[in-house]
Structure formats: structure tokens, C-alpha cells
Amino acid sequence: MTFAASVFAALSIATSATASSEPPPPPALQALVVSSDYQANIARLFSQLPAPVLQRCPSLISKGSTVTMIEPVSFAPDGYPTSGLWEQSFPVSGCGNDTTINFFFRAQSDEKITSIVGVPGETHADVILQSDAVGMMATAVKAAAPNCEQITVQDSKYLGPVGKSHKAWQESWLLAVCARPTHITLTFTPDDTGTKILVSPVKQMP
């Protein structure tokens, strides 16, 4: 089993799944997430997070994680996954930026696992929507701050449903735009063709 990382952008990490309203992952997946190779990959992913997302300090803590299976996970006889998608979320706190670190993992037929660093926080967007939203957000911010090359999504808050159908929802994303905190609002509206994303205007920055 090998890991490859894809990023949209001294910590003791607990990788055992905590209780949640989601059904528990299958036993084979539970065994995988506590394996030494998997935990080493988690530690590597955490080490690569930029400072605006994961602020380090002596009081930084992460009390366990939640594993959510998004697509059914199949396993080879040797116990390694060969298909499927799951998310693992780690609440972190103690350093002034309490949030949830979200990682996605996609298993492949050759027993390789692709690791995807998702948007931190409470976003309800799936992994594809997150990628689309990050691209649209970056375009809007660069138009307002053309001299800034460092744009990081620091946190996200779910604001709730909007509209009569309650299918659409809004989120507030906290960005670090060249170290300047900036909030934007995103509206996600599902329809027959997919989900439309509307990014709120960003004020011009020097």
C-alpha cells in the first residue's frame, strides 16, 4: 500500500474514530486507519499544512477523529483497499484557530491511496465541490488583490439552508490573503445539472 498526496493548498495525533451520528466504518477500514503506514501518512499530511490552517503551539490538541465512508470501500485479500472514498476529520484546538482538519482518501485498484487535503472547518461541500469552490474563490480574490500570491482557506462555517426549497445552503469561509484575514460567503445551489456556486464580491485590496 502506498500513499500519494494532493493538496487544495510536533503534534500528537489520535487516529481512532470517535463516536458520531454516522454509521461506523466497516471493520477492515477501522483496522486500516490505525495501521502504522496509515498513521504515518496522517502525520505527514499534518506536517504539510500551512500555518494559517494549523497553528502550532504547546497547547495544540486533537482528540481523535471521525471517519465517514463516502463511497463503498472494497478490500483485497491482503487487507488493503482497492476502491472507495472516505473522509477523516480531526477537530483541533488550543492555539487560537479552533477548526476541523478534513482529509479525503481514495483507494485505487493498484492498492495505492490518494490523499486529498480538504477545506478545513464545517463545509458541507463534497470533495469535488470543494475543488471547484476553491478555484472560483481564488479567481475572485486575485481580482481584488492582484499583488497577492498567497491565498489559503483557513476555516469554513456552515451558515444553513437558503431559499424556499432549502436545498441550497451558504457557508462563510475565512481566508488568509497574504496573511490578511478575509471573509467571503459562498452559496451552493443544487439543480438538475449539478451544483452552482456563487462567491460573494471581494473588496479591492492594496
- Report pLDDT digits (tens) over 83-127: 999 999 999 999 988 999 999 999 999 999 999 999 999 999 999
Distance CA 13, CA 39 (A): 8
pLDDT for 21 equals: 55
pTM: 0.87
Last residue of one domain, picked from the residues 85, 117, 149: 117
152, 127, 160: which is closest to 53 by C-alpha? 152
* pLDDT of residue 11 exceeding 50: no
Looking at the fold, whether 71 and 143 belong to one and the same domain comes out as: no
> Cell numbers 473522509 correspond to what residue?
87
Asked if residue 111 and residue 131 are part of one domain, the reply reads: no
Residue 63's pLDDT is what? 82
Whether residue 73 is predicted with pLDDT greater than 50 in this model: the reply is yes
Same domain, 85 and 151: no
Distance CA 83, CA 112 (A): 9
List the one residue out of 5, 13, 72 whose CA is nearest residue 43.
13
153: cell is: 482557506
Rounded to 5 degrees, what are φ and ψ at 200?
-65, 150
Contact 116, 103 (CB under 8 A): yes
Residues 127 and 85: their CA atoms lie apart, in Å, by 10
Where do we find the cell 463511497?
71
**Single residue among 71, 95, 117 that ends a domain in this structure:** 117
What is the C-alpha to C-alpha distance for residues 42 and 88, in angstroms, rounded to an integer? Answer: 10
State yes or no: pLDDT of 47 exceeds 60. Answer: yes
Whether 66 and 8 map to the same domain: the answer is: yes
Q: Domain containing 173: what range?
A: 127-199
CA nearest neighbour of 108 among 79, 78, 74: 74
Number of folded domains in the chain?
Answer: 2
pLDDT band at 62 (very low <50, low <70, confident <90, very high): confident
Last residue of some domain: 68, 93, 117?
Answer: 117
On whether the CB atoms of residues 45 and 5 are closer than 8 A, the answer is: yes
- Position with higher pLDDT, 3 vs 178: 178
Whether residue 122 lies inside any domain: the answer is no
Cell 493498484 -> residue: 110
13 and 71 share one domain: yes
Q: Is residue 205 included in any domain, yes or no? A: no
Could you tell me the three cell numbers for 17?
Answer: 474514530
Residues 141 and 172 reside in one and the same domain: yes
Do the domain assignments include residue 206?
Answer: no
What pLDDT does 203 receive? 73
